[in-house]
């Protein structure tokens, strides 16, 4: 209501909504932004727009690293627990390279990070950025390393050194790409303030002391540098790991529950430290993944990691995707009639729901078995088969509507469909409502090939 009172309240519809009240609700849920309301850009509404922007500002400051389509947004959160609203900006995963790597190995590693992808629930998961570490502490060597990395990838970058001279050498190559510079401390803070102001880049602040970290943040903010990321340190084992966990929770609670704006910034974790304590590569990658998973959940907004082994990397990236999926919205696909392979009018017609995991499992099982067929995807509001049958979203009426809506009869002349085994109880009613014959398939789509051997074509098509 506070937002609504500050809107023009003309119900002009220019935002695409029928009323200003509806627009206010969408602003609050971050489904619309202020630019969608043209009247608010008029001078007479300037003060109201500013007040609305203050009301809508997230509790944790949103910081952008990088430029263009691949830039990553971190922070910008309003809640401690995703079920309270949702989390908006995924934990950004930056994997490291270092300036003592030979040039050919450096290019190879950068390309591995850039090209990595994993198909998951209808899309490809990718990595977010490259963290360039200065191991040599040589400004010239670091500058050349940054140049090579910049030539090889368009991913966002983080430049990592406690030396302002080394960082500035790296910035000379990529400042226009808005890298994160890591890290300012109580010893080098003045030089990092100047670098952040001169180049207009976000900066990470590091201190194991939360009081010092807060003091650094206030100092930078007072100097006009507000795109900050806080790193309280990451200790990889035992009591140290427990203390690190407690620091992350304290910082996020202080920012959101206690309203302490001086620490209301994104948090950075460095699971890479597992490689400093565990010499065995398998053990190190295992513990790096454990640490990463802890802080993906509580509350790291960006991470610097090392291991590219599938057994750790896939776990880290998949958890990010799952934690940052809106719990209020089932992951779904568009309903419709899908063509698998090269079907004809006598090919089987399978039925499934539009819950993404169900759809991609069924589609994968059918296509990998090279079964030329049609797949009718019913709009069940993103529910799986069993839940949708129980809730009435997958019903005879829903199937009838989809058959008509998507013109299935124009392509499938035999008027026979295959319902999932978990939908067997609606088979009779579906036959009555649609006039189609219904076969009940297996409960597990992985069994479709064996089912096909025994049950397709049915006797009335033979």
pLDDT > 80? residue 269:
yes
Q: Which of 293-297, 327-331, 379-383, 458-462 has the lowest mean pLDDT?
A: 327-331
Residue 91 near residue 302 (C-beta atoms within 8 A): yes
* pLDDT cut 70: percent of the chain above it: 100
pLDDT > 80? residue 30:
no
pLDDT grade, residue 353 (50/70/90)? very high
What secondary structure does DSSP assign to 228-274, as a single string? EEEE-----SHHHHHHHHHHHHHHHHHHHTS--GGG-S-BEE-GGGH
Sign of the alpha-carbon torsion through 215, 220, 226, 230: negative
Burial class (CB in 10 A: 0-12, 13-18, 19+), 428: exposed
CA dist., res. 80 & res. 137, Å (int): 38
| Residue whose structure tokens are 């088969």 | 385
* pLDDT cut 90: percent of the chain above it: 82
Higher pLDDT, 156 or 53: 156
Q: Which of 78-82, 146-150, 231-235, 367-371 has the lowest mean pLDDT?
A: 78-82
Q: How are beta strands 117-120 and 123-126 bridged, if at all?
A: antiparallel
pLDDT > 80? residue 462:
no
**Predicted pLDDT of residue 187:** 96
Helix or strand (DSSP H, E) at 48: helix 46-56
Mean pLDDT, residues 373-386: 96
Contacts of 77 (CB under 8 A, 6+ apart): 58, 59, 60, 87, 88, 89, 256, 299, 301
What secondary structure does DSSP assign to 370-432, as a single string? T--EEEEEE--TT--HHHHHHHTSSSHHHHHHHHHHTTGGGT-TT-EEEE-GGGGGGHHHHHH
Mean pLDDT, residues 293-297: 97
Burial class (CB in 10 A: 0-12, 13-18, 19+), 366: buried
pLDDT > 90? residue 70:
yes
**Predicted pLDDT of residue 50:** 86
203-255 pLDDT tens trace: 999 999 999 999 999 999 999 999 999 999 999 999 999 999 999 999 999 99
**Predicted pLDDT of residue 408:** 96
Instruction: Assign domain 2-56 to its CATH superfamily.
Output: Electron transport complex subunit B, putative Fe-S cluster (1.10.15.40)
CATH match of 336-461 with 3.40.50.300: no
pLDDT > 90? residue 34:
no
Higher pLDDT, 32 or 314: 314
**Predicted pLDDT of residue 392:** 95
Mean pLDDT, residues 375-382: 96
Ordered strands of the 180-184 beta sheet: 228-231, 203-206, 180-184, 157-160, 129-133, 92-98, 302-305, 268-269
56: left (phi over 0), alpha (psi -120 to 50) or beta: alpha
**Predicted pLDDT of residue 25:** 86
**Predicted pLDDT of residue 420:** 97
pLDDT > 90? residue 84:
no
pLDDT grade, residue 57 (50/70/90)? confident
3-state secondary structure of 358: helix
4-23 pLDDT tens trace: 888 988 899 889 888 999 88
Measured distance between the N- and C-terminal CA atoms of the chain, rounded to whole angstroms: 66
Q: Pull the structure tokens for residue 118.
A: 């994993």
Mean pLDDT, residues 328-349: 92
**Predicted pLDDT of residue 131:** 98
Mean pLDDT, residues 164-168: 98
- pTM value is 0.82
**Predicted pLDDT of residue 170:** 98
Which residues are paired to 89 by β-bridges? none
**Predicted pLDDT of residue 42:** 87
Residue 337 near residue 377 (C-beta atoms within 8 A): yes
118-154 pLDDT tens trace: 988 878 999 999 999 999 999 999 999 999 999 999 9
pLDDT > 90? residue 175:
yes
Residue 394 near residue 430 (C-beta atoms within 8 A): no
3-state secondary structure of 132: strand
Interior/surface letters 49-63, b for 16+ CB within 10 angstroms, e for the rest = beebeeeeebbbbbb
What secondary structure does DSSP assign to 89-130, as a single string? SPPEEEEEEETTS-HHHHHHHHHHHHH-EEEETTEEEE--EE
CA dist., res. 354 & res. 337, Å (int): 11
415-450 pLDDT tens trace: 999 999 999 999 999 999 999 999 999 999 999 999
> What is the torsion angle, in degrees rounded to the nearest 10, for the CA atoms of residue 137, residue 138, residue 140 and residue 144?
-50
**Predicted pLDDT of residue 93:** 98
> Residue ranges of the domains in the chain?
2-56, 63-323, 336-461
CA dist., res. 357 & res. 380, Å (int): 13
Interior/surface letters 285-316, b for 16+ CB within 10 angstroms, e for the rest = bbbbbebbbbbbeebbbbbbbbbeeeebbebb
Class for the domain spanning 63-323: alpha beta
Mean pLDDT, residues 364-391: 96
pLDDT grade, residue 275 (50/70/90)? very high
HEC string for 170-219? HHHHHHHHCCEEEEECCCCHHHHHHHHHHHCCCEEEECCCHHHHHHHHHH
């Amino acid at each position: 209501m506070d937002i609504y009172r500050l809107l023009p309240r003309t119900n002009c519809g220019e935002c695409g909504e029928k009323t200003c009240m509806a627009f206010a609700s969408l602003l609050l849920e971050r489904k619309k932004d202020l630019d969608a309301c043209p009247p608010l850009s008029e001078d007479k509404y300037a003060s109201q727009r500013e007040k609305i922007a203050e009301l809508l500002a997230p509790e944790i400051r949103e910081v952008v690293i990088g430029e263009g389509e691949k830039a990553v947004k971190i922070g910008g959160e309003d809640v401690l627990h995703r079920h309270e609203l949702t989390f908006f900006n995924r934990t950004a995963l930056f994997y490291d390279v270092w300036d003592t790597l030979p040039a050919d190995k450096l290019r190879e590693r950068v390309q591995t990070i850039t090209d990595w992808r994993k198909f998951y629930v209808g899309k490809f998961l990718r990595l977010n950025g490259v963290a360039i570490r200065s191991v040599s502490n040589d400004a010239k060597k670091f500058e050349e390393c940054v140049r090579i990395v910049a030539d090889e990838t368009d991913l966002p970058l983080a430049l990592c050194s406690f030396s302002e001279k080394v960082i500035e050498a790296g910035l000379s190559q990529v400042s226009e790409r808005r890298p994160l510079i890591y890290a300012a401390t109580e010893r080098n803070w003045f030089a990092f303030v100047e670098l952040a102001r001169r180049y207009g880049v976000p900066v990470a602040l590091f201190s194991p002391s939360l009081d010092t970290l807060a003091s650094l943040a206030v100092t930078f903010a007072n100097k006009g540098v507000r795109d900050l990321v806080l790193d309280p340190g990451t200790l990889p084992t035992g009591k140290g790991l427990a203390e690190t966990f407690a620091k992350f929770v304290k910082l996020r609670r202080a920012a959101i529950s206690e309203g302490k704006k001086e620490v209301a910034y994104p948090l950075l974790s460095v699971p890479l430290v597992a490689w400093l304590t565990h010499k065995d590569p398998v053990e190190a990658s295992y513990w790096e993944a454990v640490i990463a998973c802890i802080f993906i959940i509580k509350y790291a907004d960006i991470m610097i990691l090392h291991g590219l082994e599938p057994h750790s990397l896939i776990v880290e990236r998949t958890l990010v995707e799952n934690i940052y999926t809106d719990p209020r919205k089932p992951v779904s696909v568009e309903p419709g009639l899908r063509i698998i392979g090269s079907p004809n009018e006598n090919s089987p017609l399978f039925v499934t729901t539009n819950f993404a995991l169900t759809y991609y499992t069924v589609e994968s099982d059918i296509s990998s078995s090279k079964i030329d067929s049609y797949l009718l995807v019913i709009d069940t509001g993103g529910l799986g088969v069993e839940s949708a049958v129980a809730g009435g979203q997958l019903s005879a009426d829903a199937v009838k509507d989809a058959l008509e809506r998507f013109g299935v009869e124009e392509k499938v002349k035999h008027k026979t469909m295959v319902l999932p085994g978990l939908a067997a109880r609606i088979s009779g009613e579906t036959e009555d409502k649609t006039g189609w014959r219904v076969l009940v398939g297996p409960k597990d789509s992985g069994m479709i090939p064996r089912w096909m051997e025994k049950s397709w074509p049915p006797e009335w098509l033979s």
